[in-house]
A = this chain, B = another copy of it.
Amino acid sequence: MKKPVIAVVGATGAVGEEILACLDERQVSFSKLKLLASARSAGRQISFQDQSLMVEELVPASFEGVDIALFSVGSGISKELGPVAVAAGAVVIDNSSAFRMDDDVPLVIPEINGADVQEAPRGIIANPNCTTIVTLMALDPLQRAFGGCERLIASSYQAVSGSGAQGIAELENQTAAYAKNEPLRANVYPHQIAFNVIPQVEPILENGYTKEEMKMQNETRKILHCPSILASATCVRVPVFRSHSVSVTAQFATEPSIEAARAALEAAPGIQLRDDRESAVYPTPLDASNGDDCLVGRLREDLALPNSLAFWVVGDQVRKGAALNAVQIAELLID
């Protein structure tokens, strides 16, 4: 489509704001930009490029004339209003987990399976989980180079911004209380997050894994078109404001070499290899924050599994893990 009408649904949230930043920076072509949010935020003015745009209340009628609707709201609202937007003629790009595992909804990381946007019979395209995006950005070039991925074992170090503005506020508040020698109160997370780590992101399921951890297996299989991949993740919240890090062991069909792995990562779009053993170069979450690329380091042969590599990947989960990836999907739809 040419110069579409784009609606940003949840425009005043952390991801919504980042979507606006990405639309601006990337000079995405559109004829009109519509900002939608809850009644609470309606009426707010947001400056975008040389205009001041008013946030409108999100209602079923909001989607008239909209060509692309970028949803960054809870699963519940996505499930309710996504199909309404489609009925009004829009393609929905949804950031929630509402539709991700539906067979007739493509789950897309543009650098990896961008062509899947062509197969969206319901008019809905899903944006993957943030930790999965960061992990697969590094894993995909490697699995292409080494005959496919067979096994994946990952431990994450996830920033509080993954829980939105309230997660950031919780770490800020606890840090401020610590500095003032006052008691640290936990409101958002089940345990103190400042000066602590919490090995739980999302509810724990019957099999002992959390929802977040199961996304790593389920979404990886779908995005890589490889239902046989075995993936085990441990997702941990850490007192970092922004950018998720993942420690990954991946086993491939053929024997990887470090040289070929480096070459594959260096050639991969959206990836920066920051890896030098001698000079102790590797990325930290601070390095990835507010950037578009995922950063990879600590690349080495895994000592425990045959045909495998161990590596460390860091990405800004608000950007590539959410907003940027959604905007890149929109770009695939615009001529």
Interface residue ranges, A against B (CB under 8 Å): 151-153, 155, 157, 171, 175-176, 178-180, 190-192, 195-200, 203-209, 217, 230-232, 234, 236, 238-241, 245, 247, 249, 258, 277-278, 280, 282, 284-286, 297-305, 310, 312
Contacts and interface: CB of A to CB of B under 8 A. Distances in A.
A245 B199 contact: yes
A180 B249 CA distance: 40
B304 A234 contact: no
A238 B159 CA distance: 12
Contacts of A301: 207-208
B282 A209 contact: no
Contacts of A171: 195
A284 B155 contact: no
**Minimum-distance CB pairs A-B, first 7:** A208-B300, A179-B179, A155-B155, A232-B304, A155-B247, A234-B247, A232-B303
Contacts of A300: 207-209
Given A171-B195, A199-B298, 12 more contacts: A155-B155, A155-B234, A157-B197, A175-B175, A175-B179, A191-B286, A197-B284, A204-B278, A204-B280, A207-B301, A208-B277, A238-B238
A226 to B, nearest CB: 14
Contact of A286 (B152, B196, B278, B303): B196
Contacts of A280: 190, 200, 203-204
11 contacts: A151-B305, A179-B179, A191-B284, A199-B284, A199-B312, A203-B280, A208-B277, A208-B298, A208-B310, A231-B303, A232-B305
A238 B247 CA distance: 13
Nearest to A251: B304
A240 B153 contact: no
A178 B157 CA distance: 21
A9 B241 CA distance: 41
A195 B155 contact: no
A157 B197 CA distance: 8
Contacts of A205: 277
Nearest to A283: B199
A179 B312 CA distance: 30
A198 B249 CA distance: 18
B240 A208 contact: no
B197 A304 contact: no
Nearest to A234: B247
A212 to B, nearest CB: 12
A238 B200 contact: no
B304 A231 contact: yes
B199 A153 contact: no
B236 A157 contact: yes
Nearest to A286: B196
